[in-house]
Amino acid sequence: MGDYSRKNIYEMVNSKLADRKIEPITDLTQAMSDGVRLIQLLEIIGDYSFGRYNKNPKLRIQKVGNVNKALEFIKRRGVSLTNIGAEGKIGYGSRVE
């Protein structure tokens, strides 16, 4: 992804997070890897409350649970997520860029 596109994504994400006074992100991969920021962003742009999720995950299983919850929400909205799963998103891998 080019620097211009990346900059635009960061600006959009941070402007949405700022609506709820959530700290801006500087590393998209790291910020989304535990699912917390992803859920927060989806709650804002989807006008939806996820209810209970692990807001401070420490264990891999907690992080996977959060990311799975977010991915299921995206799928229910009709977005096809081919070859995308929580297990590949945890651990700061480059697949989330």
Sign of CA dihedral 5, 27, 89, 81: negative
Look at the block and give the residue holding tokens 């006074």.
21
Per-residue pLDDT of 34-64, as tens digits, reads 999 999 999 999 999 999 999 999 999 999 9
The predicted structure's pLDDT at residue 83: 77
Please determine, looking at this structure, whether the domain spanning 3-96 carries the CATH number 1.10.418.10: yes
pLDDT for residue 16 is more than 90: yes
pTM over 0.85: no
Amino acid (one-letter) located at 24? P
pLDDT > 70: percent of the chain: 87
Sign of CA dihedral 66, 17, 43, 7: negative
pLDDT for residue 1 is more than 80: no
| The total number of residues written for the chain in this structure | 97
pLDDT for residue 77 is more than 70: yes
For residue 54, CA distances in Å to 23, 45, 64, 79, 87 come to 18, 20, 10, 24, 16
The predicted structure's pLDDT at residue 81: 84
Nearest C-alpha neighbor of 38 from the set 72, 85, 70? 70
Sequence spans of domains, the chain: 3-96
Mean pLDDT of the chain: 86
